[in-house]
Amino acid sequence: MDHAEQPPGGTGGEPAGTHGQQHPLGIYFKIWGLLFVLSTASYLVDWFHLQGMLRWTLIIAFMLLKAGLIVAVFMHMVWERLALLYAIVVPPLLLLVLLGIGALEADYTFLTRGTFFSTGS
């Protein structure tokens, strides 16, 4: 024979089991840069002494953006199947909805107790 047999799962010189998706390094460098910018913006929230709801809204927004980028790119969720994505994303969203419902219920319970247990001199 004048051609070599290829190993199963490989082509020519690569060992079996090493084929798969290859992502260019440029996307990782861009995400690292964006994470650096978001971290700098998060630091600037404290640098400019922002207070109140604006401060916490910005901190949480930057935190969620950074976490989303890390999960999407570095954990390869951008390239995963939709079912796996739903398995990762839907439970935390459901937890947030349930926490919101619990917060509303707690507020209602607190106000109702104030109405019924107040001393009406």
The CA-atom distances, in angstroms, between 5 and each of 9, 17, 107 are 12, 16, 71
The answer to whether position 17 is within a domain reads no
Measured between alpha carbons, how far is 112 from 95 in angstroms, rounded to an integer?
Answer: 25
User: Would you give per-residue pLDDT tens digits along the chain (121 residues)?
Assistant: 455 554 555 455 555 555 666 778 999 999 999 999 999 999 999 999 999 999 999 999 999 999 989 988 888 888 888 887 788 889 989 999 999 999 999 988 888 888 888 866 5
Beta carbons of 38 and 62 less than 8 angstroms apart: yes
Q: Do 110 and 89 lie in a common domain? A: yes
The answer to whether position 30 is within a domain reads yes
The answer to whether position 93 is within a domain reads yes
Range of the domain at 86: 81-115
Rounded to two decimals, the pTM is 0.59
Q: Do 31 and 48 lie in a common domain? A: yes
Of 61, 63, 58, whose CA–CA distance to 45 is shortest?
A: 58
The answer to whether position 108 is within a domain reads yes
Q: Do 61 and 93 lie in a common domain? A: no
In total, how many domains does the chain have? 2
